Amino acid sequence: MNFLPHDPARRALLTRASVLTATSTFGAAFGAVAAFPARAQSAPASVPASTPDAVPAPTPGVQQGVWRDQSRLRDIPWRLRLPEGDRPMALVVFSHGLGGSLDGGTEWAQAWAEAGIATLHLQHAGSDRAIWGGGLQAVKAAASAEQLIERGHDVQFAVGQLLKLQKDGSGPWARVSPKALGMSGHSFGAQTTLAVAGRDFQVRGAPDLTDSHFKAFAAFSPSAGHFPGGIKGITRPMLCLTGSLDGNPIGQERDGRYRRVVYDRLPAGAKAQLWLEGADHMSFGGGGERGAGFGQRLIGRERERAPEKLAAHHAALIKSVSTDWWRWRLLEDEEALTRLKSPKGLSAGDEWLQG
């Protein structure tokens, strides 16, 4: 469902969101209490146009380009990372965080590719790394309900494109298994993931961002926002990944306890949560992502030492658990299911929950 710029339903949604947002406009992107921050204002003219990051050198198994959604006059940069071989493959769509790019989640995607799972990274104009050129004002403007809507439509359009290319037998897209699609994202990308999974924002006139093609989801640093009740509408498998220091890099929440609400509100039966002691917001970004830590540096907040000291431990667990999650949920790998019953490598304070 697309809205025209002056559609009454869109105005109603954004007005309601503005009233409900009592916290900083950074809310949705960095996981603060607000799911729909105030409507974005025009970014300063100094903000450069969004462009896909170039692959520095020919990279085996990596292709990228730009799709044009003509209905919205919007470009959507993409990067496809493929596992080796020519066998059919599951595919995970990945959405970056606020101020991110196609580089978001690269570390996780590389691990998934080694396990036979492809990744399609999307870059979202209006909330990508171009916003940093406009300073704090542009960052605030980008963390908006309007941008979340655009992101959801980006995902829907991208799924339509990849399925068409797969049906046409076009190049590497022919390897995609249409019934083995997953959706994932970090921070604002986690909000996008929850929306696409079927979250009900409980606002009259809100657009339907759900995409029924996805079989399972993984949300890195998710948050419940102002509409926690709507999370109960997500019935497909959802993995939540967060930790003790996974707070709002720019907001008031300094630890990750408020992020546990997402798992708690999901209906029982197909949910899981990895909680990592000492992990912060950057721990879940997947490397190569300026936005995961740049925001807090804008206001002079230094990163604590624990996440850096434990980085290898956290990364290893995130890779192994998320890979097994996809292997189980997308490929019905029974060995992966067995490993997920009691993941190896958990340290004191780490938690693995399924319910």
Tell me the per-residue pLDDT of 236-283, one tens digit each, with 9 for 90 and over: 999 999 999 998 766 677 789 999 999 999 999 999 999 999 999 999
Residue 128, H or E segment: none
Q: How many CA atoms lie within 13 A of 60 on its CB side?
A: 5
Look at residues 95, 97, 99 and name the one whose alpha carbon lies nearest to residue 135: 99
Look up tokens 């000291």; give the residue: 309
**Complete domains list, the chain, with CATH:** 14-41+70-354 (3.40.50.1820)
Residue 271, H or E segment: strand 271-280
pLDDT of the residue at 11: 41
Residues of the chain with pLDDT below 70 are 1-58, 249-251, 288-301
Cβ neighbors of 75 (< 8 A, separation 6 or more) are 50, 66, 67, 68, 69, 125
Q: In what order do the strands lie in the sheet with 351-354?
A: 62-69, 74-81, 117-122, 89-95, 176-186, 216-220, 238-245, 271-280, 351-354
Q: Are 196 and 183 in contact (CB under 8 A)?
A: yes
pLDDT of the residue at 140: 79
pLDDT of the residue at 250: 62
Sequence length of the chain is 355
For residue 351, CA distances in Å to 89, 214, 346, 348 come to: 30, 26, 7, 8
- The 10s digit of each residue's pLDDT in 295-340 is 556 656 677 888 989 999 999 999 999 999 999 999 999 999 999 9
pLDDT of the residue at 306: 87
Residue 216, H or E segment: strand 216-220
Look at residues 187, 315, 197 and name the one whose alpha carbon lies nearest to residue 256: 187
The C-alpha atoms of residue 216 and residue 182 are separated, in whole angstroms, by: 5
Alpha helix (H) residue ranges in 64-173: 106-114, 135-142, 145-167
Q: Are 345 and 317 in contact (CB under 8 A)?
A: yes
Burial (CB < 10 A; 0-12, 13-18, 19+), residue 285, is buried
Structure tokens at 37: 């921050």
